[in-house]
Homo-oligomer: A and B are copies of this chain.
Amino acid sequence: QGLLGHWQERNATATLPHCVRQLDESGAIDNVRRALGEVSGPHVGMWFSDSDIYKTLEAAAWQLGRDPANVALRAFIDTTSALLARAQEADGYLNSYVQSDAGRTRWDEMKTSHELYCAGHLIQAAVACARAGVGAELFAVAQRLADLAVQRFGAEDGEAVCGHPEIETALVELHRTTGRQDYLDLARRFIDLRGKGLLGEDDRFGRAYFQDHVAVRDATEVTGHAVRQLYLLAGVVDVAVETGDGQLLDTAERLWESAFQTKTYLTGGHGSRHWGEAFGDPYELPPDRAYAETCAAIASFQWNWRLLLATGACRYADEMERALYNAIGVATSTDGTHFFYSNPLQLRTGHDGSHEDAPSQRLSWYTCACCPPNLARLMASLQSYVATADGDGVQLHLYASGNVHTGHGELEMDTHYPWQGQVRVRVRAAGTQSWTLALRVPGWCAQATVAIDGIAVDVAVDDGYLRLTRVWGEDTTIVLDLPMPARLVSAHARVDAVRGCVALMRGPLVYSVEQADLPEGVVLEDVRLDTGVLTATDSGDGRVMLSASGLVPEAPGPTDLYGEYPSPPRSQARIPLTAIPYFYWGNREPGPMRVWIPTAEGEGEQ
């Protein structure tokens, strides 16, 4: 029930089966058979296609944890694990790209080979299996490969890092699952070996692309390839927490400020440049050229989750929510089988993105297919990010209908969030001890109220949470009310790319205006927003759209690109504007879209 529940259901019934099929159709599975000599011809697709398999396996494991009776998924895991076990070499090595060609040497091209990146995704799949109580064979395969990595890279003379971070967080998860210290040690070693130039120079993108330009602990700015940077930072927090390394945690928090105070899109997306799929300069956030890769948004979600667990600070939960409902939510089509790789905040009239992974429409698969199975594994495990519990009590971070089981008791959440701001929580306490129920008040919400069993409680928001401490009775109902009027948002004055524009939001949702909702003949680029008119409208099916008023020139303007300032005033006509949630855009005929709308005031027009 509710939007997140719907997304999980769609993932289970559409996205995940689609990914499983695509592993066959794209040749990823055949690549493994190729390593066994059972299929001829050269390795197809990307050289890291194994990671598509591993992420799909991880998604399947999480989903099987939710739906143990799913025979098809169990068969997929078992069959694929058996294949991988056969392909694995005696010493534990496994990588179909290297193994399928005798001319390739293992660990020989650390900058580009993605061998440890793929290993990391295998390990994450294995950890998911362990947590879901399935796939013992896969776990064994992963552990053999992890042991080989420890042997090869944990040794004194084994100094190396992978050009694409991912193994770091995976090894810490494996440490958590197995208790093995050597996995944690290797993760820490991989982090501390960065910035020493072990990957060599790179003429094309520079060392920042591979996260090898600076020692992690000395970094002051998120930079380079966004997914690499964010996966690395997830691992940094993992290592910091497990080793009690305060300096490393400080590094992560410092870099979080670089990311979220200067380089994050309103949608939670990261990566301002197509060139190098990279972070831009501070405040360089063009909506049209936003790369905002789906995988970067997922990585950001995972990084923020780790920082939330490490610190309990609400700003991390706020960013999880922002990314989830916008930069991540937008990546999947309503039918669950088409995906955006890049998630711009504007698509211009006449745009042709067919050759830059920034299409005007979602595609069913990509040559570099990192994003779809990444979405599948996140969606299948979404319930684990909703709440946390510790000795003090239970913290609710994301709001969705469902049950939360904790040592303190059972919680039953019921809400139409994010369409409506009311969250009803029924608590059935397990004991007679006092504990604290912490309810997150999102940063966008100014006037949260809470009532217990119908009686308003006057409690201040404490670092983003309303904290209710008491001995909970047998059956208590808390109603949290998060008013979510439609609102106008502006960007920091240094964000040049959206000067004179506002964005429309409601609750955690960013809205967008799509050509399909404009009157015939109106060009989206000409629309100006009357900021005085904005209302939320229930579309009848529970979804909420926004209604506003726009102005467009009554006659075609001059064709000159540049002219005298100020421009002569132009007579304007008024049109109705409809804004739909950003995550819904692109599900009708392809056409222009924009999140940031120029205001009529901004240009001194009218």
Contacts and interface: CB of A to CB of B under 8 A. Distances in A.
Interface of A: 202-206, 208-209, 221, 223, 257, 260-262, 264, 266, 273-276, 280-284, 286-289, 346, 348-352, 354-356, 367, 487-503, 525-526, 531, 557-567, 598, 601-605
Contacts of A264: 561
B350 A564 contact: no
A305 to B, nearest CB: 20
Given A260-B561, A274-B274, A500-B602, A203 B367 contact: yes
A492 B561 contact: yes
Contacts of A500: 499-500, 602-603
Contacts of A223: 352
Contacts of A202: 355
13 contacts: A204-B355, A266-B561, A276-B356, A281-B352, A283-B348, A283-B525, A288-B496, A490-B565, A490-B567, A492-B557, A492-B563, A493-B603, A500-B500
The 8 closest A-B pairs by CB, nearest first: A206-B355, A488-B565, A490-B565, A500-B500, A274-B275, A499-B500, A281-B348, A494-B525
Residue among A281, A531, A564, A567 with the highest chain B CB neighbour number at 10 A: A281
Contact of A494 (B354, B526, B601): B526
A490 B355 contact: no
Given A221-B350, A274-B273, A562 B367 contact: no
Given A274-B273, A499-B602, A281 B288 contact: yes
A526 B493 CA distance: 7
A492 B525 CA distance: 11
A492 B560 contact: yes
Contacts of A603: 493, 499-500, 602
A350 B493 contact: no
A595 B562 CA distance: 13
Contacts of A206: 354-355
Given A348-B283, A490-B567, A561 B262 contact: yes
Given A266-B562, A286-B497, A493-B526, 4 more contacts: A206-B355, A281-B351, A283-B348, A488-B564
Nearest to A358: B275
A332 to B, nearest CB: 24
A346 B526 contact: no
Nearest to A257: B559
Contacts of A487: 564-565
Given A273-B289, A350-B282, A604-B601, A489 B567 contact: no
